Structure 1
Amino acid sequence: MEAIQEEPMQIHEPTVNDAHLGRQLTALTVGMDHLERRLSRGHGVLDSEGLVPIYLGDDLVPPLNLDDWDAVHSELDDLERQTARYPAGVRRTFLQDMLRSLRTATRLFEGEELSFREKLEGLVGVPAQPVSADALHDMHAQLAVLLERAGLRHGPLADQVVRWEQERALDAGQLEPTFLALMTEAQRRTDARIYPTGDYTMRLNALRGVPFTARCNFTAGQMDLNIDLNFTRAALKHLVCHEVFPGHSTQLLYTRDKAASGECSADVLLCTTNAVTGCVQEGIGDQGVDLLDWTEDEDDAVHVLLRRIRSASATSAAWYQMGEGWSEDRVHTYLERTSFGQKPWIEGRIRFASYSFRGPFIASYWFGNEAVREVRERVTAEQWPEFISFLYGQMHSPRSIGQFGS
């Protein structure tokens, strides 16, 4: 009688419930924010902004009640075990990067001293290195060509940039009406190309003596603007796109709606988190004008390139300041020479870089912009709806965003 050959017993890994994991990740992250605020009482490594500056999901996913950082590590261990069961791909890449980021944040909240390199790589999810001098040199050369087309042909490049900005600077009385006009058009384009934003708008809130250029104050319905700086129309357009439409405010509206409807995993509610997600959030903001296909003239083209130069310079300067121990005077000189930034902006970048927790996120503007730009530039017209869903409807790290279409 012929022996019956038994089939080898197959062992199947249990499938991962991604919706459940998304809720668990969200509850943990917001719980970490609450725990850090409670334990530090405003004197920890984070300022009042918190780990999750804006969270719109209290009624959807409440924060996990955590007693201490040991409980956080246990939750992270569990999430890492679940993530290991995901197939290779976008979701697994993001979860791995996000959990590494939250683990790094936890170590900082516990009081561990980490190097600037460890914060860049672990917390922000970007390379711990300056932007190459060759890359900056190439961008300077491109800027010189654009400024020559704009009629600025004489003197050092730094002087040409100063003249370009001074000649086009908006008067104080022009800021608000220009802001409102730009926001109206940005919203129209966002509704058509990205997502319908309804009746949401922002007002302009002028500030002085702050380390940032502009800020999305979503819950107050205002865009904070540092009026110690001068702004061209092109610069103000960039900020409207970055902070309002189609940038931070739009991402908040989109993720809240999609999480509430169940169309997206709950962790999209973490879009403002000071973790690897923040890098892509800033990339969406900095790519705002291009996402809306809104480059109108040479001034817009000059500002887009000037913005890239300043992001690159600030990223490098932060590394030199915090990674290599340059003095603030030396960093100031470097930024004057490479970024052509206004004095309050340079002083703000140096101040920003020195913050223990938030400082490394200065690199998120350069690396986030490049990550989103590189994907956007290869997207076809037919892929556009899929790309928008991918960009806004999922949380990403700089690594995972690059896997679009794979």
Structure 2
Amino acid sequence: MSIKLSDRTLAYAEELTDAVLGLDALYREESGDEVGLAVLNLSPEPRTPESFSDYEDVVEAFSTLRGRAGDLPERDRRTYYQQFCDSMCAFAEWRQDGLPLSEQIERFLHVPADPPSTAELNELRAELSSVLDRLGYEGDAQSQCRAWKDATTVPAAEAPEVLESEMDRMRDLTLAGLDTAPENVDQIGAAGVSGASFNAKCDFANGEVVINTDPQLTRPWLRKLAVHEGYPGHVLQFSLRRQWYEDSRAPADGLLSVVNCASSTTFEGIADSGLALLDTQPEADHAASLVGRYQMGIATAAAWRYHAEDWPEQEVHEWLSEQAIYGDEEWVKSRVGFLTAPERATLMWSYWHGEPAVTSAIESVDPSAFDTFVEFLYGRMHSTESITQFDPNGST
């Protein structure tokens, strides 16, 4: 069964998309940030962004759009678009007057602002240690991680080729496991860089995933990146959004990748929940997933210390080094470079809350409605609230 959005909702999304592009243009001009708010635009034809003279105009426009969202027929669209418009208003307020970190997190992302607790991080360490014990590695969690890394290390020069191979494999598994995924889903390459402040990124517009080769890389970690950045993660997200928009099955706002907004959390959560979606996770992949979650937890806690508690950057670096049982010094350096940027201050929370929200939604779906849920998940932008409002019958 396919769930089609109403013509009214599709028309609304066209207006919303042009408003977002107008805000993006204003922000880029005002801030000098070349990456922007809308970091990717997959529109098949040139669009006409709405023209804003200042951020007060932005708040007025998105407040009007928020009010109109309440009249849309689909419940999940009413929820999501209202929250998204709130995010854009908050972003404009942040640029105009500034906002404390806690308000940025809560009003941009619509998730709790609390950083991961020590208890949560310790629980992840213990679970990771248990998995590595079953894989045959002894000692405490840090000793196990180091031994596991040494046994599975991929030389930096070979990492892009290994990543590309893993993405090809995950693409095949995705196409075999998801009936809704068309055979012509984009195929993508890989490239390595040094000195970057990111682990990896999906450069969909240029047809490649770019990986930071400075940290020590392993095959299980590269496989995790293949899932997150490739399939059934970001490459599949972008490919389906574009194809389904052209088929009038998806709204225009899905053509954009917008940061600091209501969809940021589920966007990253879908990428981190790929193996749950395909219902396959060997022990080594489970360990890599736990490593990823633990590292995101300590990076989120480090971001809180830097932006909310005003720790000096050097102290944040030292704290992160102490906690990083898997990540090496190059990983710490890269994370600190990423999380200290003001425009990226909230992004750690989108990773931290994303995987639990999306995995929970996947696990709640009746198997008979799975294909319809995949279309709901990939064909519409979601907040952590709207993703819980799946109705296989498409009713309001």
| Secondary structure of 2:389's aligned partner | coil
Residues in 1 aligned to 2:222 and 2:242: alpha-carbon distance in whole angstroms: 27
Q: TM-score, normalised by structure 2?
A: 0.90
1:9 aligns with none
Q: TM-score, normalised by structure 1?
A: 0.88
What residue identity is the alignment partner of 1:54? L
**Equivalence map 1:218-297=2 (5 Å):** 218-296=204-282
1:103 equivalent to 2:94? Answer no
| Secondary structure of 2:210's aligned partner | strand
Matching residue within 139, 150, 163 for 2:124? 139
| Secondary structure of 1:391's aligned partner | helix
Measure how far apart 1:210 and its partner are: 0.8
Residues in 2 aligned to 1:352 and 1:149: alpha-carbon distance in whole angstroms: 34
1:183 equivalent to 2:150? Answer no
1:27 equivalent to 2:18? Answer yes
CA RMSD of aligned residues (A): 2.2
Residues in 1 aligned to 2:185 and 2:106: alpha-carbon distance in whole angstroms: 39
Q: Is the 8 A contact 1:31 1:63 kept in 2?
A: yes
2:70 aligns with 84
Q: 1:184 to 1:20 in 2, by over 3 A?
A: same
Largest Rg, 1 or 2: 1
What residue identity is the alignment partner of 1:145? S
Moved more, 15-24 or 99-108: 15-24
Q: 1:257 to 1:331 in 2, by over 3 A?
A: same
1:121 equivalent to 2:121? Answer no
Measure how far apart 1:258 and its partner are: 1.3
Measure how far apart 1:58 and its partner are: 5.4
1:200 equivalent to 2:169? Answer no
Matching residue within 322, 332, 337 for 1:346? 332
Measure how far apart 1:176 and its partner are: 3.5
| Secondary structure of 1:398's aligned partner | coil
| Secondary structure of 1:215's aligned partner | strand
| Secondary structure of 2:368's aligned partner | coil
Moved more, 188-197 or 137-146: 188-197
Give the 4+ runs in structure 1 shifted more than 6 A. none
What residue identity is the alignment partner of 2:347? F
Measure how far apart 1:55 and its partner are: 0.5
1:305 equivalent to 2:287? Answer no
Residues in 1 aligned to 2:133 and 2:193: alpha-carbon distance in whole angstroms: 34
1:326 aligns with 311
| Secondary structure of 1:225's aligned partner | strand
| Secondary structure of 1:67's aligned partner | coil
Residues in 2 aligned to 1:58 and 1:358: alpha-carbon distance in whole angstroms: 28
Moved more, 351-360 or 301-310: 351-360
Structure 2: give runs of 5+ residues left out of the alignment.
1-5
Structure 1: give runs of 5+ residues left out of the alignment.
1-14
1:55 aligns with 41
Q: 1:404 to 1:313 in 2, by over 3 A?
A: farther
Residues in 2 aligned to 1:192 and 1:389: alpha-carbon distance in whole angstroms: 16
What residue identity is the alignment partner of 2:15? Q
Residues in 2 aligned to 1:262 and 1:79: alpha-carbon distance in whole angstroms: 22
1:335 equivalent to 2:320? Answer yes
2:135 aligns with 150
What residue identity is the alignment partner of 1:26? T
Q: 1:344 to 1:128 in 2, by over 3 A?
A: same
Q: Could you give the per-residue CA deviations for residues 96-121 of structure 1, whole angstroms, max 9, x where no partner exists?
A: 210111011112333x2211111111
Aligned pair count? 384
